[in-house]
Chain A
Amino acid sequence: SAVISQKPSRDICQRGTSLTIQCQVDSQVTMMFWYRQQPGQSLTLIATANQGSEATYESGFVIDKFPISRPNLTFSTLTVSNMSPEDSSIYLCSVYGAGYTFGSGTRLTVV
């Protein structure tokens, strides 16, 4: 299965700033997925990122808040914009191959 390198692993950010999370996959994949896991909760899909087209966002998530780039078949970024304490979560990227594989997560704390 694919190996995903995700960074940063954690960050503490000031409210009103933005953070960009990167995921690098060791093989080419058509779709990459971005998830959020709020404290004590399960995972919620934010968006699906396809190379060469705009990401598809799930209900409750918008591009202005969570812009996504997908410049090639092995790389994607998720930006959390204009952050507030409510954005404090673990953010994860994922790809589908023989089952789903996840990155190691980015633990974001907004103060």
Chain B
Amino acid sequence: KQEVTQIPAALSVPEGENLVLNCSFTDSAIYNLQWFRQDPGKGLTSLLLIQSSQREQTSGRLNASLDKSSGRSTLYIAASQPGDSATYLCAHYILTGGGNKLTFGTGTQLKVEL
């Protein structure tokens, strides 16, 4: 069974800090990896998609890296803001006979304080 673990489970930081969220997975034969943000009681917003041939992706203050050999991905958030407060989920794709299937991590709940 594929497992995806995210550390830390919860994080509270003051505004302006740079921070790193970690995601580890047991299967190095992943296809792609995607980072999402989820606000309480809401759906998921896609942040970054890293395809299997890529090592990182950047969007604004966000940078995500992927190291398949070590089974790790990190999401770096620069100059954090209170609006960044949310739960962050990583999910990897495994190719199956019917296409690809997402396996979600356990999530990191982030709170950025004024």
Are chains A and B native binding partners rather than an unrelated pairing? yes
Interface size class of B (residues with CB under 8 A): 20 to 34
Q: Which residues of B contact A105 (CB under 8 A)?
A: 41-44
B94-114 vs A, Cβ < 8 Å mask (1 yes, 0 no) = 000011111011110000000
A33 to B100, CA, bound (A): 11
A92 touches B34 (CB 8 A): no
Q: A96-B100, A100-B91 are in contact. Are A42 and B43 (CB under 8 A)?
A: no
B105 touches A42 (CB 8 A): yes
A109 to B41, CA, bound (A): 11
A63 within 8 A of B: no
A15 within 8 A of B: no
Closest chain B CB from A60 CB (angstroms): 13
Question: Residue on A with the closest CB to B50?
Answer: A99
Closest chain B CB from A90 CB (angstroms): 7
Q: Is chain B's binding surface mostly helix, strand, loop or mixed?
A: strand
B102 CB contact (under 8 Å) in A6, A100, A107? A100
B32 CB contact (under 8 Å) in A31, A43, A99, A104? A99
A102 touches B99 (CB 8 A): no
A17 within 8 A of B: no
A43 touches B104 (CB 8 A): yes
Q: Which residues of B contact A48 (CB under 8 A)?
A: 98
Closest chain A CB from B32 CB (angstroms): 7
B41 touches A90 (CB 8 A): yes
Question: Residue on B with the closest CB to A56?
Answer: B98
B18 within 8 A of A: no
Q: Which residues of A contact B43 (CB under 8 A)?
A: 6, 90, 92, 102-105
